[in-house]
Amino acid sequence: MTALPHLTRRDGVYYWRRKSRRLSTGSIDLRVSLRTTDRSRAITLARVLSADSETLMPALEQSRITLDEAKRYLHHVVRSHTENAADLRRNLRLRYGVPSCDMQDRFAWAKAKSWELLARMGTGATITEQVEHELIAQGRSADDIRILGLVLEQIIKPSLTSDREAEDRAMQFERINGRAPASDAEDLQLLELHIEGKRAAQTAIRNTSVEVLAAEVVQDMNPTAPPLPIETAPAPRPPSWQAAVVPLRPEPAAILAVAPTAPSLDPSISAVIDRMIECKRHDDGGFEEKTARQYQAFGALLQRVIAKSDVRGLVQADVVKFRAVLFRLPKSFGKSPSDHTASIEEILAKASTLPKEKVGMAIGTVNRYLDHFSALVNSAKSEGIDIDPKLSPGALRRKERVRQRDKKRTFTRAELRALFQHDFWTSETGIPSLDQRRTTGLYWVPLICAYTGMRREEISGFSPEHFKEEEGIWYFELVPTSTRRLKTAASARRIPVHADLISLGLVDVVQQAQKKRQSLLFPDLREPSSKIFGRKVGRFMEKMIAEIWGATGEGLSLQSTRHYVQHVLDLDKSVPEKVSREIMGHEGTDVHSTVYGDQCPMSDLKAAIDRLPSLINLPDFPKGLIR
């Protein structure tokens, strides 16, 4: 161990830890859980981290959240957590006249224990054999441990590391301290503070520097409504700061005597949505992260509007109120950080001063929220949670006045030819050079979309290993991967490469990516801050369209190329409808087209793709072969 000074072990788990002095005062203490109990593997990982940290430590030394900023943020985390817990207990008592049932107590314990494990082992915390033995020694059952694993792995950890939660932490930190986190190092420290603040609000166990700081914050606050004790085993002697906590007054015996049967699952709106998302992620067709974030945003907004957190308390009047608020919110709602912190009343008051055309969500957006509401209700019902039988969010959907096909403009052939005559695709000069541009996703994705009808996410997240040849025909094989899901089950398909793309050198580009064993065909499109593929090329196309057409290009986007391909195939009588559907990745319209039959022959798919007219003048277009 002495040969590796940054490698340590605690509770059987290995950690990499490195300290450094700051430029002014204090020190930097960077700790990472290696998530392994195997010493040989830990040594390998520690060596890699030690080497990589040589460039990271100078940045950390110059970018660090101050002690006062940390205290203010911890104050916010602890206060919001204790207040939310107290509000939930009051709502349960007012609604049901009893404290939490046994199962709810188990979930509460599992939540508190999860934060403890995260504070102790980092974001890679898992229930190791040693942790399991400790819990059994404390009197916890196998069911308790299973619930703990569910809460830790499927509820807290995914939300803790999601982009949405990271943005929310940064936004709260900026609101509290007047500045946003300035670096990845501060984001990491903010995550550590968030975990410790949550843990400190639940219980006090260890005594590291961050925990002491969190304890001081709780002592300064002197909260009057801490979480109720949930441990069944005798609790250790609390530290001195906990003496300031004033416990809740016991409930009257008459109220506690009423005990209706409670559900075995957490009935909160957020918990039902989280379980629904987890279930959908295991569907055969996959589940887009974008849709998951939409569900979570819906749940958060619903609770802000109706001031309820329990799905069992929802009534049809709540749906009516929710829809009414959606039509009164600013169209720009959600784009400003203040929208996430201000009350709904404040936001509506501000909206009342805006011009009429800037107020009210689109009917399509409102209907989508109502669909999410229906999904929430149906999911709760399927779990056996009691729901008001009169609750019917779908009944309030409104009919849209605009046809689906009119919501997005379709490129014409002339417009696409003008697009690909832009200097970016044709000029030998410029920075980066044409040869460099030919290796990027910005160069190829618009061309591939215009010649195949593929979605931008499908080609932006495409893996070179799924570019194949059959009977002398090169084709894209679209299947779900570890880095990209498909939109629907029908999205899994094979699309031949158009002759023009082959002439431009696409096959050479893919084969070079295969030789390099790239996980993505176009790694330049990957954005570290987002798991969504296609945003970068989408913004690039918006810029190109504005530069070429200005205001007359409104409504055009990269998606318009997909509409163009569908339009051309629909009008070509020589292309069978079944072939067109398979190329576009659409389901059939009846049982015959969706159930019966097999994949179309590759030769038929290739013939249909080559029916798409040429969008470039090959003799004049710069050769795309890799030199």
Cβ-proximal residues to 498 (8 Å cutoff; 6+ apart), any chain = 451, 452, 609, 610, 612
Task: Reply yes or no on whether the pLDDT at 179 is more than 60.
Answer: yes
Task: Reply yes or no on whether the pLDDT at 444 is more than 80.
Answer: yes
**DSSP character string of 165-204:** HHHHHHHHHHHHHSS---SHHHHHHHHHHHHHHHHHHH--
Tokens encoding 438: 């030919």
Residue closest to 277 by CA, chosen among 298, 293, 263, 265: 293
Q: What is the DSSP letter of 268?
A: B
Q: What is the pLDDT of residue 129?
A: 80
As a whole number, the mean pLDDT across the chain is: 76
Read off the amino acid at residue 141: S
CB-CB contact of 16 with 7 (8 Å): yes
CB-CB contact of 316 with 374 (8 Å): no
Q: What is the pLDDT of residues 411-422, one digit of tens each?
A: 999 999 999 999
For the segment 333-356, the average pLDDT, to the nearest whole number, is 85
Residue closest to 472 by CA, chosen among 437, 493, 496: 496
Q: What is the pLDDT of residue 9?
A: 80
Q: Is the sign of the CA dihedral 150, 154, 159, 160 positive or negative?
A: positive
Q: How many Å apart are CA 458 and CA 67, to the nearest integer?
A: 45
Task: Reply yes or no on whether the pLDDT at 106 is more than 80.
Answer: no
Q: What is the pLDDT of residues 33-67, one digit of tens each?
A: 766 777 777 787 777 667 656 544 554 444 456 66
Q: Is the sign of the CA dihedral 123, 482, 490, 412 positive or negative?
A: positive
With cut-offs at 50, 70 and 90, classify the pLDDT of residue 18. confident
Task: Reply yes or no on whether the pLDDT at 539 is more than 80.
Answer: yes
Q: What is the pLDDT of residue 30?
A: 66
Q: Which residue has the tokens 């569907």?
A: 283
Residue closest to 108 by CA, chosen among 168, 155, 60: 155
Q: Is 421 helix (H, G, I), strand (E, B) or coil?
A: coil
Domains annotated for the chain, with CATH where assigned, are 7-62 (no CATH), 67-232 (no CATH), 269-401 (no CATH), 413-609 (1.10.443.10)
Q: What is the pLDDT of residues 419-443, one digit of tens each?
A: 999 989 988 887 788 888 888 999 9
Q: What is the pLDDT of residue 210?
A: 52
Q: What is the pLDDT of residue 604?
A: 92
For a pLDDT cut of 90, what percent of the chain falls above it?
Answer: 23
Q: Is 6 helix (H, G, I), strand (E, B) or coil?
A: coil
Task: Reply yes or no on whether the pLDDT at 220 is more than 80.
Answer: no
CB-CB contact of 397 with 369 (8 Å): no
For the segment 224-240, the average pLDDT, to the nearest whole number, is 41
With cut-offs at 50, 70 and 90, classify the pLDDT of residue 288. low
Q: Which residue has the tokens 């051309």?
A: 568
CB-CB contact of 10 with 34 (8 Å): no
Q: Which residue has the tokens 């609770």?
A: 303
